[in-house]
Each structure stands twice: as C-alpha cells, then as structure tokens.
Structure 1
Amino acid sequence: MYDYFLGGKTHYSVDTRAAEQVEVVWPDVIPWTRANRAFMHRATRWLATEAGIRQFLDIGTGIPTQPNLHQVAQQAAPASRVVYADNDPIVLAHAQALMLSAPEGRTAYLHADVKNPEAILAAEELHATLDLSEPVALSLNALMHFIGDDQKPYDIVQRLLAPLAPGSYLVLSHGAIDPRPGLSDAVTNLYRASGIHVQGRTHEEITAFFDGLELIEPGVVMPHRWKPETERERAEADARDLWIYAGVGRKG
C-alpha cells in the first residue's frame, strides 16, 4: 500500500484495493505518505552532507520506490554503505532486483524483524557491510506505529541503539493521533480488520523514542516541517497539518 500511495509501480492488485479503501476513510493518506518519504530523503541528505555519516541501517524497508535511501545517501557520498532489513521476503526479492549500489559503496539486504533486534544486530550481512565501531544512522521510518505497547517499542529502539557507536543517529517517523473526531479510530479499525496492527501515538509519546539522544533542530515535528529545502517544501510546511511526527537524534 505504501508504494501505491507514493505513486510507485511495485505493488499488487490486492494492495491497490486495500489502499483505495484507506483513501475513502482517510483522504490525507497520500500527502501524509509523501511527506514522510520526503523527510527520509532530506534526513538522509543531511546525515551524509552535514553530519558526515557513511553507514545506514534502514529497518522496515518496504517495497522499493525510487529514490531509495541508498540512492540518496550515495548521491551525496558515493562510499556510503547501507543495510536494508525487512521481514517480508517479497520485499527483499524486489530489493535485491532493484536496489543497486554505487560501485564505491555497498548495499546489503537482511530478512529480519524489528521485534527481534538482536537477530538484526548479529546478522552476518550486517557485519559484512557496516562497522558498528563507527557511527551508523538507524532509520525507522513509519515503522514503530505497527508495534503495539505490549511489544515494548521503546525497548526495541533502545536495544537497536545500544551497540551503535557514539555519534550515531536515530531517524524516526511515526503516525500520530489525528484530532479530527473518529478519524484515527476509523483508520486503526480498517488496518486491524486487514490483520495489520497499527497504533498512533501522541507527540510526547513519539518524542520519548529519542530519550537520551540529542535532538537535531527543529526537534520532533511534522515531517514536512523538518528542514524543508525548497520554496515549494517551505510553502507545503506552512499550508497544512499532517498527523505524523518525525525527528533525528544523535547518540552522545
């Protein structure tokens, strides 16, 4: 569905039907999704150009929709190394076919679930690509709202961050609770009826994922308001609220 909302071509008819149902209930889903994707692009560029990061771990990759994280990072710094992780083998099959690294860098793909951080961190593919003694950007974009409170989402993030070197970063975006009456409940119920747990959180709850980190300005904000780069992006940032929050935090 995410690829459909982004205007991509790598999705199935069942995804299209489900996405169209979501659009009926939630008309803002396409700008919401595209604002989140644009945040990932800007945050990755900022990390590669301003923070000097050359290693990225992207968990919850999803079906590839260009430009992908490694393309953004390697355009800024061709030697960047990226590990993608997802628990859907179909996603990884597409990733291996479509995501080709720049020759100076490296891209690897890992079949793993964010709910098992230790398996991700112990994976041979990860250690063959990334050096955890050097800073890594951990990317958790539009992922943790699929993790219920009973699965200890804050603990998962801390376990992923724990072995990363000082100077590493957390990049996270997360669906928020829409204040319009009944909308968040309607979207939640629609996803859960399809067997997908989803849970919006408040700004304070989302900010708590960054506990112990130094938040990069402008902090945890709606994604289209995180360092807009163009006049169009600045105009979009002022134009509307989209109920998702995003931020970047640095590990000291």
Structure 2
Amino acid sequence: MKKTLQKQRALIIACAGMFTLAFAVFYALAGRGGSDISIHATWASEIVFTDVRSFVHHGAHPLWHTLVALMMRLGLSVRLSAALVTTALKTAELGLAFWLLKKAIGDLLPRAAVAVCAVVAMLVGPLCLPWINPTVYLGVGTPNTWHSPTQMIALVFMLLCVPMTARLYEQFEASLPEGKPTPWKQAALLSGLLLTSLVAKPTFMQAFVPAAGLFFLIEWIGHPRQSRFFWRMILVFLPSV
C-alpha cells in the first residue's frame, strides 16, 4: 500500500491541487446568479425523485442535475452540492488525462512531468481574442468549457469512450488476418457508456458518432472479409444513435 502511494504521489498531489482550485472556481461561480452552474443547480434543486418528469423538465441531459440532487439529499446546500459534483468531475478528468498520457508516453517522462502535462491540459482554455469577446476568461457565456457543468460530465465520458473504442480496434487489428470480433462483454460495456453519455450531455456523441462511423466505414472497405467485427461495432453504437 505504501509503495503504491509513493508511486502515485505525483498524481495524488496533482489531483489534490486540481480539486482545491476547481472547488474555489466552481463554488464562486455557483454563487453568481447568471452563471451556468448556478442556473443548472437551481434546476437540480427542483428534481423530485418521485416525479420522473422533473428529471427532464429543463433539458435532455439530467445526469449532472441528478448527482447534485443526490448530494442535496445528504443535507448539503444547492451551491455546495453543485460545486462538489463539478469539482469531482474535473478531478476525474485529470486522473483520466494522466492515465492516457502515461500510457502514450510510457517511461519517456517521469510521472511528475506527466502529472504536470495533465494539469496543463485541464487548464487550457479558448484562444484569447479580446476584440471578439473581452470577457472570454470570466467563465460565463463564453466558449470556456469550465463555465458549463454539464460539459464537465460529458468530457469524463469522452475520456472513457474514445480510448476504449481505440483499444477495441487495436485488439481487432492485432488479430488480423483472421480477425476476431470484439468480445460481447467489452462491447456491452462500451455501448452502456456511450448510451449513458447521452444522459450526461449529447455534445460528445454528436461529434464522436460521425467520426467513428466514417473511420469504421473506411476500415470496413479495407477489410471486407471482417464484417463480423464491424457489424458488432454497429450494434455497440446503435442504442446511442
């Protein structure tokens, strides 16, 4: 246990720092009546668990609102619940980004450097074009994804689903020329994550489905005898279309 903690020290420090920074930002934004997080938090406070209609009353992506409503059931305030849920999502993003970077970089960089890269990736904002929008970094009504709590949860699913899809194709590619279809358990897991991401926010799937569809179509043309794999991938995505 001690060795594991020492090995993950850089990630733990990075996550603790991100949690502290994100909570300060989101708690402040949740206190502003015109901010996205404040508006969504108000909608979350209107959820009644015995009334299904209240979950979709204000939009088609109620997952964040449901998580906030569950936190409120613990006796926390609307503002604190919204800040904690969004902060947890941002910290999860950092952990997933670290894992992806570490997997891609391997041992080329020490874990501390990978953690720094992951933190920087989480802090990247839009281009600063003050002549178009002088308040671009204020986080309200801007292209800055930090302003949208529902976008946070969509990014978590993106960081899960895209690498998983790539991994399934890599497994298929490694099995060529005979070609093996994706195992049903892995296919079902990915399909479930993709479907759940729609409840979080459809933004990710609106971009991912066309891109993945085009990619798999091109690969199918290149491997016309491996239809089993591609039909199974169609079944993976079908519930989310």
- The two structures share one fold, judged by TM-score above 0.5: no
- Shorter-chain TM range is under 0.3
Larger strand proportion of the pair: 1
